[in-house]
Chain A
């Protein structure tokens, strides 16, 4: 609070320069002139000849006027001074002049008592005014702080501005505000002013709080807890480095302000919690979306670890999976942990993960180094505290998801357990989906492999048996036709037809055999086989088919060559059967780690469905097969087409070259 000496001085000046004071002085002088007119002989004496006592009695009563006027107009203090002056005005007459001194004394005392009563009334009125003024000042101070508190929901900014306002209204020079963290486990320094530079070494910490409040900057201090609905939120300490006597009103005012700050702190905290909850929901929704759109387990689970970690403000994360085949627990997904842990395995049922997997329940370990089931590699990796929850769907437990504190030991709340369990459920769905997808892919691969084996067998049989038989038949027909002695002339035309038919069937069988599985693919590789396909399309179907190769040619694995060949074969079949194209370009590009085949025609084109699933519905089974083959090889297939604008099919497959040049 500001010093009281300055207002007292200004009040005295106000009184001295007030016309009321001079009016009071004039009244007193009038009293003196009236009361002692006979002795002064300067004024005509009213009521000469009347009883002197009666006249002086009236004059004494009149002296109450300046006392009352001074007390009300200039304050009780001045009224008291005037009372004393009036008393001394009356006293000489009582002592020396009055013919009835006893009566005069009685009247003088009565006038003094009435004057005193008047002053007391003025004093009461004055006290009420002071109380009103104080209440107004207090309200103004509270309003000033309230205005600051309602201006923002950002806790530190709000408390910083509130502290400024508090220091301004209290006139003190230094202050700090501490707030409790969410779990009542620490105090954060939310705002500070007027402390020596270098004293504030951190933004949180109990020791820091204890150090700051005992600093010399706060030698004289008022400290009040911040509360909202009876719950502690923190504390405010204001003070000065010099001696300062705290008044009760100051403490009351600060208590009222602290209550406002406590409520505002809780509101800001609630706002922050709502914001954080929304952020959590957004991230969980993002995770769900990621899980439903992503079937690559590695990517999903890496994301799961990071999201769980972020949601509970942990330092690191890990997923432990149960390897049923080896009956051990592995840690294949780590975030911000040393990669050595990837090699660690523990027996089923051991370690925190083992316990969580066995019990199916969340576990919190606040001091991991002291945990009996600790895994030494994790202790060495700096794990201080841990929350682990099971990754489970239905009655199947896949593993455990753990979030970790590395810097300091910490506890995890029930809300942390709920949030991480929610993420773990999503992880379980991801694992289940990925496993189903892997089974499906494996099944599809097996079907395609079986199909290819069967095709190869059929192609070989057609080539080795049927085609050879047809060649033999054709040779025999040739022989018969050239045997003039034994072949009747009437049969020759029909035999000639038969020979031509046999030759045609032989060509068809060879072509069918080539389509089923060209032997050049196994013998010479992808590019010569594609050249053969293009040549045949040009020769037999009147479509100008070109093959272009870009980049360093190389031989690929038989599986990849087969996939690329089947995709190109299907695309060229579509050109031949459906497109009505006159030209088709097959371009093979060898780039770093990827082979891209692009088949573009100038045919009639078609409307490409939005989703791959619609290809089956619209009967485009050939395209579906190409897509499946590309996916099974870990690649992609893109189809671009519009009615009237031709079609382009692009397949990209990740590869490793087996030899540099072919």
Chain B
């Protein structure tokens, strides 16, 4: 899924459903500011976008720290990392 589709079909609607129109929009707007200032490729910016939402006090209060972290992972998984940012973990090199 591309970044815009993820934001407009998954993240935005869920936030508005959960927090109402005004808070939902506010969260997406502040996350967009994080996206703008994050730098890097589109995926890194998207991850900053998701982190901004899931670290927001209102979100954590509503979903709890674990719930917010779970949701962040779920949203991040929607957009695959760009090849140059893939980190290989646990691979043994001879």
Contact = CB atoms under 8 A, between A and B. Distances in A.
Interface residues of A, number: 28
B26 A209 contact: no
Interface in A142-183: 178, 180-181, 183
Interface stretch (A42-50, A229-237, A334-342, A524-532): A229-237
Given A183-B22, A210-B3, A210-B4, A235 B29 contact: no
Given A184-B26, A206-B28, A214-B45, A232 B21 contact: no
B28 A366 contact: no
Given A214-B45, A221-B39, A180 B29 contact: yes
Contacts of B7: 210
Contacts of B26: 183-185
A510 interface: no
B36 A209 contact: yes
B21 A187 contact: no
Interface string A215-250: 000000101110000001011010000000000000
B29 A184 contact: yes
The interface residues of chain A, by DSSP majority, are classed as: mixed
Given A366-B20, A366-B21, A178 B30 contact: no
Q: How extensive is the interface on chain B, given as a class?
A: 20 to 34
Contact of B36 (A186, A235, A385): A235
Contacts of A410: 21
Interface in B6-52: 7-8, 20-22, 25-26, 28-30, 32-33, 35-39, 42, 45
A181 B21 CA distance: 15
A325 interface: no
B21 A213 contact: no
A385 B16 CA distance: 14
Contacts of B37: 223-225, 235, 237
A553 interface: no
Interface string B39-73: 10010010000000000000000000000000000
A611 interface: no
A494 interface: no
B21 A409 contact: yes
B21 A367 contact: yes
A210 B33 contact: no
Interface of B: 3-4, 7-8, 20-22, 25-26, 28-30, 32-33, 35-39, 42, 45
* Chain A to chain B: the 7 pairs with minimum beta-carbon distance, closest first: A411-B22, A366-B21, A185-B25, A223-B37, A184-B26, A206-B32, A235-B36
14 contacts: A178-B36, A180-B33, A183-B22, A185-B29, A187-B29, A187-B32, A209-B35, A210-B35, A213-B35, A213-B45, A223-B36, A232-B30, A234-B33, A235-B37
Given A184-B29, A184-B30, 13 more contacts: A180-B29, A183-B22, A185-B22, A185-B25, A186-B29, A209-B32, A210-B45, A213-B45, A232-B30, A232-B33, A235-B33, A385-B21, A411-B25
